[in-house]
């Protein structure tokens, strides 16, 4: 008769308990790993949100700084344009939208001239497209400027002729309403740079357009 090798009950129970313990430990480790992964994802999500908030804050700060810079860049002549337009009663909201200066790089004039160059017309074409894209009624004041090579009366007249040349071009070529475009000459009274050099004088022969609403 074959003898069976029976495992003592205590050892059997111990083995089963060990097996269950190993299985339980594995399950616990798995759950801990899953929980840690979820925690890591949450931390990563919070970090991403924080970074996004920082980026938005930087953008906001940049926008505010840029707006402040734009306000600072609004010239006295633009404020004077606003006052003139308000007195004329042509504004809906009474505010400055922006001002655009056309200097030697685009809308420049030769000495004693108010003729528009090809580059000047191209720059004004872009400006007119921008104005039409606003899709609102705006008022323009075109300010003519000169260098100081002529006398006061002559420069006043020349600045006016330059402003009028721009006004005619915008009205004829782009159908901007003449009734909402005014002109004024500042002559040589508001140079942007010194008139002591040829380059400086060239920069001062310019027009500035103030856009008001």
Q: What pLDDT is recorded for position 70? A: 44
Which of the 8 DSSP states describes residue 179? G
Q: Do residues 155 and 148 lie in contact, with contact meaning Cβ atoms separated by under 8 Å? A: yes
Distance CA 44, CA 24 (A): 30
pLDDT in tens, 36-52: 666 666 555 655 665 66
- 96 and 85 Cβ atoms separated by less than 8 Å: no
Q: What is the pLDDT of residue 158?
A: 97
Rounded Cα distance between 113 and 165, Å, is 11
- Phi, psi (degrees; rounded to nearest 5) at 97: -80, -50
Contact 111, 150 (CB under 8 A): no
- pLDDT tens figures, 59-82: 545 544 444 444 445 778 889 999
pLDDT at residue 102 in the model: 78
Q: Read off the pTM.
A: 0.64
- Determine the distance from the C-alpha atom of residue 202 to the mean position of all C-alpha atoms in its chain, rounded to a whole number: 28
Out of 2.40.50.140, 3.20.20.70, 3.30.1330.60, 1.10.287.470, select the CATH number for domain 75-212.
Answer: 3.30.1330.60
| Segments of the chain with pLDDT less than 50 | 60, 63-72
- C-beta separation of 87 from 104 below 8 A: no
pLDDT of residue 82: 93
Position 64 scores a pLDDT of 42
């Amino acid at each position: 008769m074959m003898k069976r090798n029976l495992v003592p009950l205590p050892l059997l129970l111990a083995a089963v308990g060990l097996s269950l313990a190993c299985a339980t430990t594995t399950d616990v480790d798995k759950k801990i790993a899953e929980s840690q992964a979820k925690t890591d994802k949450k931390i990563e999500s919070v970090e991403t949100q924080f970074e996004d908030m920082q980026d938005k804050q930087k953008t906001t700060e940049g926008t505010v700084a840029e707006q402040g810079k734009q306000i600072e860049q609004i010239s006295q002549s633009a404020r004077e344009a606003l006052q003139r337009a308000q007195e004329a009663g042509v504004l809906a909201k009474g505010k400055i939208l922006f001002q655009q200066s056309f200097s030697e790089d685009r809308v420049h004039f030769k000495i004693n001239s108010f003729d528009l160059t090809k580059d000047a017309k191209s720059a004004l074409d872009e400006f007119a497209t921008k104005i039409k894209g606003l899709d609102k009624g705006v008022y323009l004041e075109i300010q003519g400027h000169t260098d100081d090579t002529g006398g006061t009366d002559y420069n006043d007249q020349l600045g006016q002729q330059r402003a009028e040349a721009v006004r005619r071009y915008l009205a004829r070529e782009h159908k901007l309403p003449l009734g909402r475009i005014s002109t004024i000459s500042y002559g040589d009274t508001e140079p942007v740079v010194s008139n002591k050099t040829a380059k400086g004088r060239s920069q001062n022969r310019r027009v500035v357009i103030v856009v008001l609403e």
